[in-house]
Amino acid sequence: MDPVAKIKETIATYAAQSVEHRRGWFSPAAAAYAATRPRYPQQLVEAVVARAGLTATSTVLEVGCGPGTATVSFAELGCGIVAI
């Protein structure tokens, strides 16, 4: 079987499984990541705010927000967040 066909077959196999079955696949990894991922230092957040001239009425576009580690810091300032 050619590699592309093999990848498509593998994806189809995973996609065919129920949502209930797939729900817990990443839970242990996500919990470990959230518990051990360092947070951004407040000094760094303040430097970004100053450099960008952010205020509570600013809207921040966050590209690659992941679990929202940086998102929370800017949301606490009252900024609107568009996260992708």
State the pLDDT at residue 1: 80
Residue 31 tokens read as: 């919990």
Q: pTM for this one?
A: 0.59
State the pLDDT at residue 28: 84
Other CB atoms within a 10 A radius of the CB of residue 74 amount to 23
User: Are the CB atoms for 49 and 76 separated by under 8 Å?
Assistant: no
Per the rule left: phi > 0, alpha: psi between -120 and 50, beta: everything else, 15 is alpha
State the pLDDT at residue 9: 92
Residue 12 tokens read as: 């189809």
User: Are the CB atoms for 27 and 19 separated by under 8 Å?
Assistant: no
**38 DSSP assignment:** P
Q: What is the pLDDT along the chain (84 residues), one digit of tens a residue?
A: 889 999 999 989 988 988 888 877 877 887 888 788 888 899 999 999 999 999 999 999 999 888 888 898 889 989 999 999
